Chains A and B, each alone.
Chain A
Amino acid sequence: MEKNEKALFAELDSYIDSLPSKQGALISVLHKAQDIFGFIPKEVQAHVADKLDIPASKVYGVLTFYSFFTMTKKGDNRVNVCMGTACFVRGADKILEKFERDLNMKANTTREDGLWSVDGLRCIGACGLAPIITVNGKSYGRLVVDDVPGIIEETLAAKEAK
């Protein structure tokens, strides 16, 4: 959020302006903001509140309710492990632990080198594929612990190819 800040805000504004109605648009605007900025810091929330003409407290309330949204900068690669009930009973906690071990980091943090974030979050709505994770937006369902190293490798390879 340094050099391109203006352009990023402009991108968010053009999305908001393209909406047919600002009423009830908060969640989709927050999704867009997170897409654009990678996270939703205070200034972005205040900006969204202003544009949608709702109190900043409301934006902050909605943002903190959904664990998908984040106020802090995440790593280059973002792993989200669904910890919803269905995933949990099918071993999501073991998957999360495996990521912690293999990436040598704690869950719900960003690794010091900024390469990885691993978060456990609430139900992502794909219980039929439990346990499910998303990595940089791509989903991996019906996982077992041994799938984790392959996913890490694949993610790094994909980044390098870019």
Chain B
Amino acid sequence: MINIKINNLAVQVEPGTTILQAARKLGINIPTLCYFNMESAGCENAPGSCRVCMVELEGRANLLPACVSTVWEGMSIHTNTPRAIKTRRTVVELFLSNHPKDCLVCDRNKNCELQTLAADLGIRESKFDGKMARHEKDTSSLSLMRDPEKCILCRRCETMCNDVQTVGVYSAVHRSLETVVSTAFNEPVADTTCTFCGQCVSVCPTGALIQANNTEDVWAALADPTKTVVVQTAPAIRVALGEEFGMAPGTIVTGKMIAGLRRLGFNHVYDTNFAADLTVMEEAHELLDRINNGGRLPMLTSCCPAWVKFIEHQFPSLLDVPSTCKSPMEMFGSIAKTYLAQKLNVNPKDMVVVSIMPCLAKKYEAARDELGGNTDYVLTTRELAAMFREAGLNFHALPDENFDPLMGESTGAAVIFGTTGGVIEATARTAVYALTGKNPENVEFTQLRGTDNIREATVKAGDAELKIGIANGLGSARKMLEAIRDGKSEYHAIEIMACPGGCVAGGGQPYHGNAQSIIKERAAGLYSSDKNAPKRCAHENAEIKKLYDEFLEKPGSQKAHDLLHTKYVKR
């Protein structure tokens, strides 16, 4: 162990610890900007380039960057001397010298790390007048927008995209004052292999990478009296939306969310969880069909559109392994514009389906040709919160309301779709039922739960065993896919989610900083919703049974195939 002092407080740390880590151990806050701990992905962005974390070392003339300087015996560090503070302030003033000053109308207003840093350091004037970098905005994608003029070159997006997700869309290009983080050949991001997972947006400290905004489209639909506007809400929204209104991560706000959506003017408020139960029915049927009839194994889950786009780009020879099931969002859209439209006596052309998703890739998915445009608009959790604020709703005072009937019922199996391992656990519950004729004794397959980016477990179904793999984060997905390609995969089924942690940590969620503490709380919220649900297996959902009885016949029927299944294309 190494003994050091920070601000005259003694602390013992392991060799190799950075000054920043040692300070945090003491509860001392050293401001950072480029440094970013992508905890949920087991990865760190520490280029040591921004120089905001400079600290003074006794007996040394130059200051040290705390995030990349490791400790040595007897060091005495000072983090808050006038010199350290002045240096830090100058560094931030230099950042501001060529940063656009349109904070008032910036997407990240009140939620920007550069803005917060400038405010915390008490910067009240633009001391330096720098030459502004001029770059075109990239609005090519339906999911996200790039504004390189707001980029501070922290390289977090690059680390996330290249090292964690292994997609490699971004790199710093050119040099010196012309340096900008861009795509290969400056191509529009929509023309790259980007999966639109949105994790780059999640980690961006400023407004350089933001989500595409569809709130105006939805306000326009709500204002149109000829339209019946229905909304569905993904499982992960209900445990994160509250954070936008100051609640603790993981607080379950389903009832208030439903009430808020009604107050915005949605005609019917439904649950994506209903469609998640439907997905389980189809996916479990497909899995058993593949196992019993010598079909392609393993079967991969197909709920996550970023992951689907990833395999289409990166592993075009493996397009027969994902389940043909549409995602719950798209199953909802298909059923809404057929079955629901009939039941409500609405012309499908006059029905607008809005989805509230934790995800940016869902915006892109909704526009995929083969899915037929059944989902009209996708809003993220953050956009929904913005609409609640625009409408002046007092979120805390909203009553708890319930989803509308027909497509509002769901089981505990559906709600856990929002966390890594949840989709496959839900599918396993129904697969066990299908194989043995009864529900598993304990529906909680805790062996499938956890936070590791790659996991594996076995689920017993009578005498049979289902071997299951789980990957979250596209870098982990890549490892799973390489094993399948090389014939080394022995799993029956694999669940893949593009975002480290699953949908609770999606690119459209309240900014979570990839902090395990926040992501775990959100997942815990979902698991407790499951625990408290009166029904916990998808096949017990009465509205789903009714849907099959009255409309779809049975899982895997021709009609189910036409409406609920899809295909993948080489990109």
B174 lies within 8 A of A64 (CB): yes
A54 lies within 8 A of B168 (CB): yes
Within 8 Å by CB of A55, from B171, B174, B175, lies B171
A57 lies within 8 A of B174 (CB): no
Q: Which residues of A contact B10 (CB under 8 A)?
A: none
Which residues from 73 to 108 on chain A have a C-beta closer than 8 Å to any C-beta of chain B?
none
A57 lies within 8 A of B168 (CB): yes
B175 lies within 8 A of A60 (CB): no
Q: Which residues of B contact A42 (CB under 8 A)?
A: 185
Say yes or no for B386: interface residue by CB 8 A criterion: no
Q: Which residues of A contact B183 (CB under 8 A)?
A: 57
A55 lies within 8 A of B185 (CB): no
Within 8 Å by CB of B169, from A55, A59, A65, lies A55
Say yes or no for A110: interface residue by CB 8 A criterion: no
Q: CA of A58 to CA of B184 in the docked complex: distance in angstroms?
A: 7
Q: CA of A59 to CA of B185 in the docked complex: distance in angstroms?
A: 9
Closest B residue to A60 by beta carbon equals B184
Report whether over half of chain A's contact residues are helix, strand or loop; otherwise say mixed. helix
Closest B residue to A54 by beta carbon equals B168
Closest B residue to A122 by beta carbon equals B175
Say yes or no for B162: interface residue by CB 8 A criterion: yes
Q: CA of A42 to CA of B185 in the docked complex: distance in angstroms?
A: 7
Q: CA of A46 to CA of B192 in the docked complex: distance in angstroms?
A: 12
B278 nearest CB across to chain A (Å)? 38
Closest B residue to A41 by beta carbon equals B185
Within 8 Å by CB of B170, from A49, A54, A57, A65, lies A57
Within 8 Å by CB of A65, from B167, B168, B175, lies B175
A60 lies within 8 A of B168 (CB): no
Closest A residue to B178 by beta carbon equals A64
A57 lies within 8 A of B182 (CB): yes
Q: CA of A58 to CA of B169 in the docked complex: distance in angstroms?
A: 9
Q: Which residues of A contact B169 (CB under 8 A)?
A: 55, 57
A60 lies within 8 A of B173 (CB): yes
Within 8 Å by CB of A45, from B168, B172, B182, B185, lies B185
Q: CA of A57 to CA of B168 in the docked complex: distance in angstroms?
A: 7
Chain B: number of interface residues, binned into ranges: 10 to 19
A55 lies within 8 A of B168 (CB): yes
Q: Which residues of A contact B162 (CB under 8 A)?
A: 55, 58
Q: Which residues of B contact A64 (CB under 8 A)?
A: 173-175
Q: Which residues of B contact A55 (CB under 8 A)?
A: 162, 167-169, 171, 184
A60 lies within 8 A of B185 (CB): yes
Q: Which residues of B contact A45 (CB under 8 A)?
A: 184-185
B369 nearest CB across to chain A (Å)? 26
Q: CA of A46 to CA of B184 in the docked complex: distance in angstroms?
A: 9
B184 lies within 8 A of A56 (CB): yes
Q: CA of A45 to CA of B171 in the docked complex: distance in angstroms?
A: 14
Q: Which residues of A contact B182 (CB under 8 A)?
A: 57, 60
A65 lies within 8 A of B173 (CB): yes
Q: Which residues of B contact A46 (CB under 8 A)?
A: 184
A61 lies within 8 A of B172 (CB): yes
A65 lies within 8 A of B185 (CB): no
A70 nearest CB across to chain B (Å)? 13
Closest A residue to B192 by beta carbon equals A57
Q: CA of A64 to CA of B182 in the docked complex: distance in angstroms?
A: 11
Q: CA of A37 to CA of B332 in the docked complex: distance in angstroms?
A: 53
Question: What 1/0 flags go to B180-216 for Cβ under 8 Å of A?
Answer: 0011110000001000000000000000000000000
B171 lies within 8 A of A58 (CB): yes
B184 lies within 8 A of A59 (CB): yes
Which residues from 27 to 57 on chain A have a C-beta closer than 8 Å to any C-beta of chain B?
42, 45-46, 49, 54-57
Within 8 Å by CB of B174, from A54, A56, A58, A65, lies A65
Q: CA of A60 to CA of B186 in the docked complex: distance in angstroms?
A: 9
Question: What 1/0 flags go to A98-125 for Cβ under 8 Å of B?
Answer: 0000000000000000000000000000
A121 nearest CB across to chain B (Å)? 12
Q: Which residues of B contact A59 (CB under 8 A)?
A: 184
Q: CA of A61 to CA of B184 in the docked complex: distance in angstroms?
A: 8
Q: Which of B168, B174, B175, B185 has the most CB of A within 10 A?
A: B185
A21 nearest CB across to chain B (Å)? 20
Q: A54-B168, A55-B168 are in contact. Are A61 and B173 (CB under 8 A)?
A: yes
A49 nearest CB across to chain B (Å)? 8
A61 lies within 8 A of B185 (CB): no
Q: Which residues of A contact B174 (CB under 8 A)?
A: 64-65
Q: CA of A59 to CA of B192 in the docked complex: distance in angstroms?
A: 14
Q: CA of A56 to CA of B192 in the docked complex: distance in angstroms?
A: 10
A35 nearest CB across to chain B (Å)? 21
Q: Which residues of B contact A61 (CB under 8 A)?
A: 171-173
Q: CA of A49 to CA of B169 in the docked complex: distance in angstroms?
A: 12
Q: CA of A65 to CA of B182 in the docked complex: distance in angstroms?
A: 13
A55 nearest CB across to chain B (Å)? 3
Q: CA of A61 to CA of B173 in the docked complex: distance in angstroms?
A: 4
Q: Which residues of A contact B185 (CB under 8 A)?
A: 42, 45, 56, 60
Q: CA of A61 to CA of B170 in the docked complex: distance in angstroms?
A: 9
A47 nearest CB across to chain B (Å)? 12
Q: Which of A55, A56, A58 has the most CB of B within 10 A?
A: A55
Q: Which residues of B contact A54 (CB under 8 A)?
A: 168
Question: What 1/0 flags go to A7-39 for Cβ under 8 Å of B?
Answer: 000000000000000000000000000000000
Q: Which of B169, B170, B171, B174 has the most CB of A within 10 A?
A: B171
Q: Which residues of B contact A57 (CB under 8 A)?
A: 168-171, 173, 182-184, 192
Q: CA of A49 to CA of B175 in the docked complex: distance in angstroms?
A: 20
Question: What 1/0 flags go to B141-176 for Cβ under 8 Å of A?
Answer: 000000000000000000000100001111111110
Q: CA of A42 to CA of B187 in the docked complex: distance in angstroms?
A: 11
B172 nearest CB across to chain A (Å)? 5
Q: CA of A56 to CA of B184 in the docked complex: distance in angstroms?
A: 6
Q: CA of A93 to CA of B309 in the docked complex: distance in angstroms?
A: 50
Closest A residue to B169 by beta carbon equals A57
Which residues from 494 to 508 on chain B have a C-beta closer than 8 Å to any C-beta of chain A?
none
B470 nearest CB across to chain A (Å)? 26
* Interchain residue pairs with CB less than 8 A apart (29): A42-B185, A45-B184, A45-B185, A46-B184, A55-B162, A55-B171, A56-B168, A56-B184, A56-B185, A57-B169, A57-B170, A57-B171, A57-B182, A57-B183, A57-B192, A58-B168, A58-B171, A59-B184, A60-B171, A60-B173, A60-B182, A60-B185, A61-B171, A61-B172, A61-B173, A64-B173, A65-B172, A65-B174, A65-B175
Which 5 pairs, one residue from A and one from B, show the smallest C-beta to C-beta distance? A55-B168, A61-B171, A56-B184, A57-B171, A57-B184
Q: Which residues of B contact A (CB under 8 A)?
A: 162, 167-175, 182-185, 192
Instruction: Give me 6 other A-B pairs in contact (C-beta within 8 A), A57-B170, A57-B192, A61-B171 excluded.
Output: A55-B167, A55-B169, A55-B171, A55-B184, A58-B171, A64-B173
